[in-house]
Amino acid sequence: MIYDASVSNLIIREWLNGSLFPLSLNLAVIIGVFIWDSFVHSLEDGTPRWWRLPGVPTACVLFWIFGMESVRAISVWAILHTTNQNKSMPDWVVETATYSLVLASIVLLVALLRCTYLFSPPKWGHAFWIYSAVSTLLFLLLSNQL
């Protein structure tokens, strides 16, 4: 019974990560198109600092979030898929998936902090994103002590 639940859990996790990959990638692509269009229109209009146009800072951070989420999802999917098929992955695939997960996680951390900064009310200044960074660090430190 416990084995069945474990295997079913892995299959569910495989399917969820498999479905998150194309959805996240498609969102990153369409957001990238918005960013590109904003850049091109700013060149045509002669608008300086196109990255400060309304919606562009948010689009940039969401591009990184969804792009790296798709990298994370496909890496986890590859590992779970081969596990569920009772196959072993070639060493280069394991290394690629591992490095991809680490890179995606680092970029996601930075992008989520940037997103926190963007959505914090201006009157709060830098306080909330700094609090977010500190609380994340404390969570990691304290959870490793348990």
**Digitized pLDDT (tens) for each residue of the chain, 146 residues in all:** 455 655 578 889 899 999 999 999 999 999 999 999 999 999 999 888 889 899 999 999 999 999 999 999 999 999 888 888 888 888 888 899 899 999 999 999 999 999 999 999 999 989 999 999 999 999 999 998 86
Reported pTM = 0.83
The residue assigned the tokens 């196959």 is 87
Residue spans of the domains in the chain: they are: 2-143
Report yes or no: 14 and 79 within 8 Å, Cβ to Cβ: no
What end-to-end distance do the CA atoms of the chain give, in Å?
29
Q: Distance from CA of residue 39 to its chain's centroid? A: 23
Report yes or no: 35 and 59 within 8 Å, Cβ to Cβ: yes
Please write down the long-range contacts of 34-42, taking CB distance under 8 Å and 24 or more positions apart.
Answer: 34/59, 35/59, 35/60, 35/63
Report yes or no: 89 and 79 within 8 Å, Cβ to Cβ: yes
